[in-house]
Amino acid sequence: MVLCDQDVFEGWVKGIKMPMHGLRLKPFPHFDDLSLVFGKDCANGKGAMSATDILEELDQGEASNDIGVDDLEAEVDASHTNIVASTPSRMECSSQSRRKRAKNDDTTSINVMTRTCNALESLVGNFNQQTERENRVVGELEKLPNLNRLDILKLSQIIMNDSMKVKLLFNLDEDLKVEWVKQLLQTP
């Protein structure tokens, strides 16, 4: 049970910034155990945090979780540069170390996910370009003189099987293109 003077309790409630008025004179079964742990932490200086400190840290964590997608890259870049500076020292309490390690793990995970998304975006872009070029192959072949429908189908199959041939088709000028496709048709 929390026992203290009314004015001390009200001062504490004002400092907490949370509705705690109903806690005075209520049973608190593990109060003595928590007091012992807190007292040991204060005695050796490792990880002693008041309830106010803990609540402020939680509020800061929640505020940082409310970032937008646009701010994500800026936050990742800023936190990535601070990883070395924010690593916990051996003198800190294990719970603080775990919290900081979790934040560092989150930063690392965000960096990995960002790089993965960028790589996927690049792959999809390349795939879309290749697909677009392949779709234009038939149109490009139809522009060439003296090719019937069967020639166009055979050439499109030959050219689309090799991405280098697709690039070559679009990079050759018209005269060379005509000679090149004639050669492709004659090759078994």
Residue 163 structural domain: 131-186
Mean pLDDT of the chain: 74
Q: How far apart are the first and last CA of the chain?
A: 94
| Mean pLDDT computed over 70-81 | 50
pLDDT of residue 177: 93
- 26 occurs within a structural domain: yes
- 124 occurs within a structural domain: no
- 113 occurs within a structural domain: no
pLDDT of residue 47: 64
pLDDT of residue 85: 46
Higher pLDDT, 73 or 23: 23
Residue finishing a domain among 66, 88, 118:
66
Residue finishing a domain among 30, 47, 66:
66
pLDDT of 123 strictly over 50: yes
Residue finishing a domain among 66, 87, 103:
66
pLDDT of residue 73: 53
pLDDT band at 18 (very low <50, low <70, confident <90, very high): low
| Mean pLDDT computed over 146-170 | 91
pLDDT band at 171 (very low <50, low <70, confident <90, very high): very high
- 78 occurs within a structural domain: no
| Mean pLDDT computed over 118-145 | 86
pLDDT of 70 strictly over 60: no
Count of domains for the chain: 2
- 62 occurs within a structural domain: yes
- 9 occurs within a structural domain: yes
3-state SS of the chain is: CCCCCHHHHHHHHHHHCCCCHHHCCCCCCCHHHHHHHHHHHHHHCCCCCCHHHHHHHHHHHHHHHCCCHHHHHHHHHHHHHCHHHHCCCCCCCHHHHHHHHHHHHHHHHHHHHHHHHHHHHHHHHHHHHHHHHHHHHHHHHHHCCCCCHHHHHHHHHHHHCCHHHHHHHHHCCHHHHHHHHHHHHHCC
Q: Kindly state the tokens that stand for 85.
A: 């500076």
pLDDT of residue 117: 86
| Mean pLDDT computed over 138-164 | 91
